[in-house]
Amino acid sequence: MPSNIDTAEQPLMQTYNRFPIQIKAGKDSYVWDETGQAYLDYTAGIATCNLGHRPEPVKEKMEEQLNQLWHCSNLYYIPQQEQLASQLTESSCTDQVFFCNSGAEANEAAIKLARRYAQKVKQKETYEIVTFTQSFHGRTLGTLAATGQTKIQEGFAPLIEGFRYLSYNDVGALDQLIQPNTCAVMLELVQGEGGVIPADEAWVSELAELCQQHGLLLMVDEIQTGMGRTGTLFAYEQYGIEPDVITLAKGLGSGFPIGALLAKAEAAQAFDPGSHGSTFGGNPMAATAGLATIEAIKSQDVVSLSQQNGEYLQKQLKALQAAYPEQIVSVRGKGLLLGLVTHRPAAEIIHQAREQNVLILPAGANVVRILPPLTTNQAEMDTFVEALNQVFANL
């Protein structure tokens, strides 16, 4: 934005701290600004462009669909939607899918499903959902209340009732999991916005066992971790558990707005005609994007590539940490959802990286979030690490 324009006079609400570049084009792991400058994009649209920018298999299918039908309501059968639902259920532990427009809407649907399952199926007047400190589940009023970060909730009181927060990765806190009104648990297996913090396997195992023993729905928010981001198609596969509910968005549509609520049949029966809906959710364009994306992920074995690339990049970043121990505290994460914990403000590192023509993101005050396309290659990862090396050398 030109420096001589008052932000108060802008037609857009000032809800974003925008970086001072204007992205005009993108392809694979790179984007270009209005001057033609190329940047290595290791944000992937915040874990959305898992196949890189404008992946050909998705582009081709979307162009075909543009010439046929853009939108029809969910009062009609949409073949691409049913095919995508089949792909998702066949690839997970779930049985049925509801499509919506975003991650927040998918989590809203999960919250509604949990309450309705308790009250309509189990005939209990329970409604409380347990979430965890530093979690992030969205910015609607419902998902805001589910989010365990007071800074995200500030200014939106009174929050919707029915949520209780326990300490993340704290086995001792699980003693307080079961309360009279508790009906479900919602968690991220890698907290993205909360600082790129992976869940401890023993903690997750005990949590899942308690949910099973007490009849609580176990709902895993895979908005950021799903679609191969952590080295498996879904992060829960690495934890030896089977969630009752999974939520997806971001990487599901390669940049086209789509979210999904996946559930086992037992939980899914809580939704019957008229109980929930979405005008645009899973329309022909969105469903085509999702179907083309998951087909490309499978046909190109992108999940294995994500695992291999994640191992390589983590190794290189840990070598960088060893070279700059006074500046880098640790490297954490799974697959290609990585966090660099630093002694300096993340914003400073991000600014300096942009000067090296590399784009990265914050995940808290002192955590740099690294989200390459899953299809990145070794040469690009080496370029990225060398750019960070230059950043820390300059600092």
Homologous superfamily assigned to 7-54+303-394: Aspartate Aminotransferase, domain 1 (3.90.1150.10)
192 has a pLDDT exceeding 90:
yes
Dist CA 28 CA 59 (whole Å): 12
| Across 56-69, average pLDDT | 97
**Per-domain residue ranges for the chain?**
7-54+303-394, 69-299
> Rounded mean pLDDT of the chain?
96
pLDDT (tens digit, 9 = 90+) per residue, 230-239? 999 999 999 9
Q: Nearest CA to 276 among 285, 267, 289? A: 267
Are 43 and 224 contacting, i.e. CB atoms less than 8 angstroms apart?
no
User: pLDDT-derived band of residue 8, with 50, 70 and 90 as boundaries?
Assistant: low
- 205-to-196, 299, 361 alpha-carbon distances in Å: 20, 32, 31
> HSE (CB half, 13 Å, CA atoms) of 214?
21
pLDDT, tens digit (0-9, with 9 covering 90-100), for 253-298: 999 999 999 999 999 999 999 999 999 999 999 999 999 999 999 9
69-299 belongs to CATH 3.40.462.10: no
At residue 174, the pLDDT reads 97
Question: What is the model's pLDDT at position 4?
Answer: 43
Task: Assign 7 a pLDDT band (cuts: 50, 70, 90).
Answer: low
> Reduced to 3 states, what is the DSSP secondary structure of residue 97?
strand
Instruction: Answer yes or no: are the C-beta atoms of 85 and 94 closer than 8 Å.
Output: no
What pLDDT, on the 0 to 100 scale, is given for residue 1?
Answer: 47
pLDDT tens per residue across span 196-212: 999 999 999 999 999 99
